[in-house]
Amino acid sequence: MSSVPVNISNDIRKRIFIGLMAISVLLLGCVFVLAWWVVSRRGILVNKIVLTAITAAAIFFLILLGIGVFALVWSLWRTKTIGPLQNIMSTATNLLFPIALNVGKWIGLDEERIKNSFIQVSNQLVKTRVYGHQIKRVLILAPHCLQWKLCPHKITIDIANCRACGRCPVADLQKLAGEYQTELLVVTGGTFARKVIKDKRPEAIVAIACERDLTSGIQDIEGLPVIGIINERPEGPCSNTRVNLKKVEEAIKYFQQGGLH
């Protein structure tokens, strides 16, 4: 087991999603007990063997989810990875995400805030997982909305078309990618991003996007370590967005140095 550096402000954000996951497991438990009560007490005709099998499967499923959430809390709290439980933690996180999101919205939490919390949790899990392992082939995926909206150059076709005029963060990102010998690609959406990942076969990804695209992207790309960086939107969504270059650099360095910087 290994230890990763702690970020206190991110810890506070993570608690939102962890709390919602715990509530989701409890909710699923209640739904199951209610369904079981209705079926067994109201005389609904269900074969006893079938009912026992469904009950056993549901209990097993709930226990697995509970273990996943408990392991996640422990891993985040101690900032240590639990190798054998890594898959259970990821599965519990992805399965409970839609329920946690709806529970959060139902109790009045902002959707973007919940997704932000999910991204912090996911980033921490990835960091604990790769800690101590140096990953060289890192791909930086940036959204098209980072490009200055009046720029005439087709950088999604070839990033080398950027003239580095400095009007948008693309030039700085390109410089950063060169410094760390990583590849930078600007993508127009999830389908393009998935295709690029399939073609390039990176070992790790630093993905820049809004909360919505990052949450769906992280869930899509299971198995590959992804650190998500939320973009800044001073002019509203999808137009002339910005990114904190320091965070991008930290994420690249984390992968390349195995968190040992």
Closest contact distance (angstroms) between CB of 146 and ligand SF4 is 8
Query: Which CB atom, from 33 or from 165, has the smaller least distance to ligand SF4?
Result: 165
Count the site residues for ligand SF4 by CB under 6 A.
14
Closest contact distance (angstroms) between CB of 144 and ligand SF4 is 10
Query: Which CB atom, from 89 or from 155, has the smaller least distance to ligand SF4?
Result: 155
Closest contact distance (angstroms) between CB of 155 and ligand SF4 is 5
What angle, rounded to 10 degrees, do the helices at 211-220 and 190-200 form?
40
Query: Which CB atom, from 11 or from 249, has the smaller least distance to ligand SF4?
Result: 249
Closest contact distance (angstroms) between CB of 151 and ligand SF4 is 3
Name which of residues 198 to 217 contact ligand SF4 (CB under 6 A). Answer: none
Query: Which CB atom, from 69 or from 170, has the smaller least distance to ligand SF4?
Result: 170
Query: Which CB atom, from 151 or from 221, has the smaller least distance to ligand SF4?
Result: 151
Nearest CA-CA partner of 98 in 198, 17, 200:
17
One character per residue 136-175, x = contact with ligand SF4 (rule: CB under 6 A):
-----------xx--x-x-x------xxxxxxx-xx----
CA angle at 207 for the pair 202 and 208, rounded to the nearest 5°: 150
Query: Which CB atom, from 36 or from 148, has the smaller least distance to ligand SF4?
Result: 148
Closest contact distance (angstroms) between CB of 196 and ligand SF4 is 18
Give strand pairing partners of 227: 206
CA distance 225 to 208: 14
Is residue 245 near ligand SF4 by the rule CB under 6 A?
A: no
Closest contact distance (angstroms) between CB of 226 and ligand SF4 is 24
DSSP secondary structure, the chain, as one string: --B----HHHHHHHHHHHHHHHHHHHHHHHHHHHHHHHHHHTT----HHHHHHHHHHHHHHHHHHHHHHHHHHHHHHHTB--GGGHHHHHHHHHHHHHHHHHHHHHTT--HHHHHHHHHHHHHHHHHHHHTT-----EEEEEEGGGS-TT----TTT-GGG----SSSTHHHHHHHHHHTT-EEEEESSHHHHHHHHHHH--SEEEEEE-HHHHHHHHHHSTTS-EEEEEPB-TTSTTSS-B--HHHHHHHHHHHHHTT--
Name which of residues 14 to 73 contact ligand SF4 (CB under 6 A). Answer: none
Closest contact distance (angstroms) between CB of 168 and ligand SF4 is 3
Query: Which CB atom, from 172 or from 203, has the smaller least distance to ligand SF4?
Result: 172
Q: Using CB under 6 A, list all residues that contact ligand SF4.
A: 147-148, 151, 153, 155, 162-168, 170-171
